[in-house]
Structure 1
């Protein structure tokens, strides 16, 4: 345990060097960076303790942890999309995330990419939930923003006899594209410019490189699907709510 904290203390040099450059160049984001990195440190250390406990408790408690992660994700999506209270966004984000989490869990276990064990499921479902959170935050923010800025286009579709669902279809497509852009950019560079995290971890653990590559590409496909499905589901669950917002 002491060695872990000694290693972290030395590794914190990355943050200190970054802060020195930020203050020297007067970039104005020093406080934000410091707080974010300290929060990451605290959260990951706590997560390490919690996962260590959950690993020993079994699949039932792992399911509770995953549900907790999905719930937190839903509130984060709402906060990123709007500062106003809106339970419908929370519910839509929760339903979208839990749906793609269950689908991912089924495909991973049926394909035998991983065993149905806590030590595999929590990290992988965490990837699904985390990426879905980012994708929905970007997608829904873009969806609502476009509806507001181009509401004349929306009213035009409706005036021509389109249903509300048909009228928002173009906006949903733009939202999904926006949400997928970060993933597409990283996917195009994978293996050429950088080695993704899961594969790095497996290689460091001594896993056969081809096996590591197989797992990593499955994870990337999983993340791509989770982003597309979560954003699309959330948009179609919320389009009536968003139309009401821009109409009032």
Structure 2
């Protein structure tokens, strides 16, 4: 059975969705230049980063557009899974590049990558097999865009969780050491720090759930409406998206905090020096 939203709906507009060409894309470039100008005006030093980011985004999206055309044509499950794996690896590097690690950078990447993979895969599998029943299960037209949203949010959850764990351990060092001195296990002594890190990683997701539909109309819903879909059907789509992103972020954040916590203690159950 195909995704429900792809079936013809009575409400479907007769109007054709807006078609954007290279001229429209060129007209959007000044929007980035505004940010660059503001950076130059306030001496933020971000002009080069904004320029490189805009170029990278353009090149990457144009390339992935061609890759998607090829995948839609070939429709092979192993190629689709290969693309999903590349997405997880890229998300892992993006999540860990700016983190101050405990131990080696590679071990931190394995930790975050494993959490991102599990959080994304579990959420995607449930969504694919239970909620929307994609047929075939590996259909790249659905699997790749949906997984991209999931892994992107899992990446943010992993980065926030890892950064907050270190911050909490630094600020609560004396509290944790006091707990260890009184006979508490590392897990018990750091329980409060870990809970606070998990909470911090989930706050953006909770905020998004609280304001969706009031402050913002997210991308999935906006795209459906612009394509002429029934707003009610677009709402169904968006709710599913919000719920799946919440799941992926929560699973990933919890795994990162639990696994990363262990890096802050020696085998003798002593808190390591963070200076």
Residue 119 of structure 1: how far off its partner (Å): 0.9
Distance 1:57 1:170, change over 3 A: farther
Q: CA deviation at 1:176?
A: 1.5
Shift of residue 114 of structure 1?
5.6
What does residue 80 of structure 2 align with? 62
RCO (CA 8 Å, sep 6+): is it higher in 1 or 2? 2
> Does residue 1:240 correspond to 2:262, yes or no?
yes
Question: Deviation of residue 186 (structure 1)?
Answer: 2.5
In the TM superposition, what is the alpha-carbon distance from 1:25 to its structure 2 partner?
Answer: 4.8
Q: Which runs of structure 2 are paired with 1:96-245 in the superposition (5 Å)?
A: 96-113=115-132, 115=134, 116=137, 117-244=139-266
SS for the counterpart of 1:106 is helix
CA 27–235 in structure 1, closer or farther in 2 if over 3 Å, else same = closer
Q: 1:108 to 1:148 in 2, by over 3 A?
A: same
Contact 1:198/1:216 (8 A) holds in 2: yes
- Map of 2:95 onto structure 1: 77
- CA apart distance, 1:166: 2.2
TM-superposition CA deviations, 1:38-58 (whole Å, max 9, x none): 222222222212222222222
- Could you say which structure has the larger radius of gyration? 2
CA distance in 1: counterparts of 2:224 and 2:194, whole angstroms: 37
Q: Which runs of 5+ in 2 are unaligned?
A: 1-19
Q: Is the 8 A contact 1:147 1:246 kept in 2?
A: no
Looking at structure 2, the residues matched to 25 and 159 of structure 1 have their Cα atoms a distance apart, in angstroms, of 50
The worse-fitting range, judged by mean Cα deviation, of 191-200 and 113-122 is 113-122
Whole-Å Cα distance in 1 between the matches of residues 149 and 256 of structure 2? 18
Q: Which stretch of structure 1 is more off in the superposition, 97-106 or 77-86?
A: 77-86
Determine the C-alpha separation between the residues in 2 that align with 1:102 and 1:14.
Answer: 36
SS at structure 1 position matched to 2:261: helix
- Bigger drift between 183-192 and 18-27 goes to 18-27
| Bigger Cα displacement from structure 2, 28-37 vs 67-76 | 28-37
